[in-house]
Amino acid sequence: MLHHNSIGKRNKTVASHIGGGTYRWAICKQPNMRQMACIPIVLFALGSTALAQIEPGLPGSVEYSVLSNNQTWIQTTDPITIGTYVEDLLTDRNNQPEGRGAIGIVTSTGFDEDYGVMAAMVDFGRDYSAGIVFPELSPIQIVPEPSTLVLLPGILLWCAALRRRR
């Protein structure tokens, strides 16, 4: 997080780099105004980052099902086996149906003699499956979407720390 003080002015400008975007706002130095303005703005900025990171799959895709159930995913080092959720790491794969999404479920695995590596058949939902080699897949774990309210204590501590620095 970057902080810039304007010399001789009454406002403090704060720039936050969250996800792929930068959010900037000015916070008045008056304590009541800071408390009222700081928290909703930061919560809004943090809450909107998930949508900006990736365009979700269309209804019927595995990715859409995960996101619509207020879940997300994290990469793991688990082995890729049948039933494992995986993320397709190749973002510009040719000849993919619209709305396929980036994550799917492994339905089978085997050695791909053409590429000389292990490969998996991945079901992306929407009646679409694709064979993808392991180096282009990342095993993932489905987890609950972090709530912005979970971040609230940290934001309150951050605001209190700013207040004490003066």
* Residue at 71 is within a domain: yes
Question: Each residue of 79-93: pLDDT tens digit?
Answer: 999 999 999 998 878
pTM: 0.58
* 42 and 84 both lie in a single domain: no
* 81 and 35 both lie in a single domain: no
Question: Each residue of 114-147: pLDDT tens digit?
Answer: 999 999 999 999 999 999 999 999 999 999 988 7
* 70 and 137 both lie in a single domain: yes
Q: Which domain holds residue 76?
A: 62-144
* 45 and 70 both lie in a single domain: no
Residue of 128, 136, 35, 129 lying closest to 80 (CA atoms): 136
Residue of 17, 39, 141 lying closest to 80 (CA atoms): 141
Cα(152)–Cα(107) distance, integer angstroms: 40
Phi, psi of 38 (to 5 degrees): -65, -55
CB–CB of 143/71 below 8 Å?
Answer: yes
Cα(89)–Cα(71) distance, integer angstroms: 19
